């Protein structure tokens, strides 16, 4: 009798507890495997600021890029647009389109790849600037949400990941890619960027005429200019579609706007140049190369009620937003 009871108990246990538990475990295992396939990607990062190698989960890395690239006080839709652009840019890099650091997928130098700041450093920097610990955490959560809400989303053109370049502010109009860089991309066209605000409008950079000439002579040993008629020997010859300097003649040199921007460390190649007394003053509009998405422009669009996808499709002409998993 006791034996029989034991058998009944075992059968009941088997039917109601053990078998369901095994089934659940089996499905959980499958779920975990799927998760590994879609989310488990890690990225190898060269941390230039701390001179060390990092390895992180891919989407966590994107959070650190958004935190480094865009103020958390920007609109949520702008942060989401930034997340999608950064994700697209990152995957292109991971596919091996740079030879600057072949043993790493990407680096933390914004001039080479894109900006990056760890959660720890970001929270500390906010708190150092007077933001409370609680508000700093809320800022980080806002960034996390923007990345999570767009998880896996990337930009494509004709089914291929785009070169999702972005920059700070255009000064009113973005650039055709070939007007600043070399290659012409159909989705990197000059478009209006009307809501950037005044942060990078009419920024003056003044250097002495002596330094101006020394910098030119150092870079171009054959540089010559009539020093009694400097103003008459500086002439902007042409402008890009985006309204920035395309070609400028200084003495015997014919330079591009980009060359002058880099030579004098200007915020933008959208500049005017003026000699007053013994000083040269550049007045720039915009911040960055001007190709692709304007971050301040994205924030302006978001303030005016545009969603992240509308913002992205404005700056990346003819592109589409798809889930990266559909491309594999």
In the complex, the residues that contact Zn ion under the rule CB under 5 A are 100, 107, 112-113
Residue among 118 and 285 whose Cβ is closer to Zn ion? 118
Nearest-approach distance from CB 246 to Zn ion, in angstroms: 28
User: In this structure, are residues 88 and 142 in contact, taking their beta carbons and an 8 Å threshold?
Assistant: no
Q: For residues 4 and 52, which CB has a smaller minimum distance to Zn ion in the complex? A: 52
Q: Which is nearer to Zn ion, 94 or 263 (CB)?
A: 94
Distance, in Å, from the CA atom of 311 to the CA atom of 79, rounded to the nearest integer, reads 11
Q: Which is nearer to Zn ion, 86 or 245 (CB)?
A: 86
CA distance 72 to 129: 14
- For the bound state, the minimum distance from the C-beta of residue 67 to Zn ion, rounded and expressed in Å, comes to 18
Q: Which is nearer to Zn ion, 102 or 221 (CB)?
A: 102
The whole-angstrom separation of Cα 94 and Cα 310 is 26
Is the CA virtual torsion 80, 81, 85, 91 positive or negative? positive
Q: How far is the CB of 111 from Zn ion (least distance, A)?
A: 8
Angle, vertex CA 155, rays to CA 153 and CA 158, nearest 5: 130
How far apart CA 91 and CA 94 sit, in angstroms, is: 5
Q: Name the minimum Å distance from CB 106 to Zn ion.
A: 6
Q: Least CB distance from residue 101 to Zn ion, whole Å?
A: 6
Inter-residue contact 165 to 288 (CB < 8 Å):
no
């Amino acid at each position: 009798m006791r034996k029989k009871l034991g058998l009944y108990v075992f059968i009941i246990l088997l039917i109601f507890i053990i078998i369901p538990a095994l089934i659940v475990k089996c499905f959980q295992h499958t779920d975990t495997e799927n998760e590994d396939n879609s989310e488990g990607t890690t990225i190898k990062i060269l941390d230039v600021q701390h001179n060390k190698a990092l390895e992180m989960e891919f989407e966590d890395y994107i959070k650190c890029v958004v935190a480094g690239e865009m103020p958390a006080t920007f609109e949520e839709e702008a942060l989401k647009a930034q997340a999608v652009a950064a994700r697209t840019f990152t995957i292109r890099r991971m596919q091996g389109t740079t030879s600057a650091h072949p043993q790493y997928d990407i680096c933390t130098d914004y001039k080479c790849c894109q900006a990056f700041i760890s959660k720890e450093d970001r929270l500390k920097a906010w708190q150092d600037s007077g933001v409370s610990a609680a508000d700093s955490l809320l800022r980080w959560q806002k960034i996390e949400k923007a990345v999570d809400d767009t998880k896996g989303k990337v930009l494509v053109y004709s089914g291929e990941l785009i070169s999702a370049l972005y920059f700070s502010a255009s000064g009113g109009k973005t650039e055709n890619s070939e007007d600043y860089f070399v290659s012409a991309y159909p989705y990197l066209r000059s478009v209006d960027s009307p809501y950037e605000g005044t942060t990078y409008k009419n920024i003056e950079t003044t250097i002495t005429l002596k330094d101006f000439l020394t910098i030119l002579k150092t870079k171009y040993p054959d540089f010559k200019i009539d020093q009694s008629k400097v103003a008459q020997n500086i002439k902007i010859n042409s402008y890009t579609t985006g309204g920035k300097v395309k070609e400028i003649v200084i003495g015997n040199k014919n330079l591009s706007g980009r060359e002058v921007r880099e030579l004098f460390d200007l915020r933008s190649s959208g500049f005017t140049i003026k000699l007053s007394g013994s000083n040269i003053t550049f007045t720039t509009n915009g911040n960055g190369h001007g190709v692709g998405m304007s971050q301040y422009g994205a924030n302006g669009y978001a303030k005016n009620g545009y969603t992240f996808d509308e913002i992205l499709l404005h700056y990346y002409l003819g592109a589409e937003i798809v889930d990266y998993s559909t491309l594999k």
